[in-house]
């Protein structure tokens, strides 16, 4: 199973923000492209994918994210904003924490929110659990 995160950012994620956020997730991680460029994977030294990050999608419809994820997720955001998914490998120890470090770094740079919200994360922390 994977552990899925949604990163909602007020500003469009540019290459610099994504790269810097990947570095914040783990300086020792390797990067590999997948899905004809639509996915970036953060990998360990053995090449095992720990976190897959999908290309950001612009959200132009107010209320659409709440319909999908629940109320309050987009508090403080105004359309347009951007939806980026990060999926941590369920079989890799520490992968959810890496995904959360990436997501939190993106929000720190671009404004926004991470789903699940901290209170809804298993254990109430950032290490999460499988979905």
Task: Summarize pLDDT for 46-91 with one digit per residue, the tens.
Answer: 999 999 999 999 999 999 999 999 988 999 999 999 999 999 998 8
What is the sign of the dihedral through the CA atoms of 61, 67, 71 and 73? negative
How much is the pLDDT for 63?
94
Mean confidence (pLDDT) of the chain: 89
pLDDT for the residue 35: 80
pLDDT tier at 125, thresholds 50, 70, 90:
low
Q: Above 50 in pLDDT, residue 105?
A: yes
Tell me which fold the domain 2-122 belongs to: Cell Division Protein Zipa; Chain: A, (3.30.1400)
Global pTM value? 0.88
Q: What region, left, alpha or beta, does residue 38 occupy, with left being phi > 0 and alpha being psi -120 to 50 degrees?
A: alpha
Closest CA to 6 of 74, 61, 71: 74
Residue 102 CB neighbour total at 10 angstroms: 28
| Angle (CA) 54 59 60, round 5° | 160
pLDDT, position 1: 87
> What is the mean pLDDT of the segment spanning 122-128?
48
- Using CA atoms, how far apart are residues 92 and 3, in angstroms rounded to an integer? 10
pLDDT top residue among 2 and 106: 106
Q: Where are the domains of the chain?
A: 2-122
Over 60: is that where the pLDDT of 130 sits?
no
Percent of the chain with pLDDT strictly greater than 70: 89
Distances from the Cα of 84 to the Cα of 45, 94, 115, 119, 123, angstroms: 25, 20, 10, 20, 23
Place of tokens 């990436």: 102
The pLDDT score that the predictor gives to residue 118 is 58
Extract the tokens encoding 60: 């132009």
């Amino acid at each position: 199973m994977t552990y899925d995160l949604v990163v909602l950012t007020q500003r469009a994620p540019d290459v610099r923000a994504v790269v810097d956020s990947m570095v914040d997730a783990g300086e020792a991680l390797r990067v590999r492209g997948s899905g004809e460029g639509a996915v970036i994977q953060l990998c360990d030294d053995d090449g095992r994918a720990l976190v897959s990050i999908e290309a950001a999608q612009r959200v132009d419809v107010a209320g659409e994210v709440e319909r999908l994820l629940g109320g309050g997720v987009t508090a403080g955001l105004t359309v347009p904003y951007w939806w980026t998914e990060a999926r941590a490998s369920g079989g890799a120890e520490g992968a959810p924490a890496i995904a959360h470090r990436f997501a939190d770094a993106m929000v720190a740079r671009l404004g926004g929110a991470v789903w699940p919200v901290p209170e809804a994360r298993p254990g109430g922390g950032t290490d999460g659990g499988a979905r």
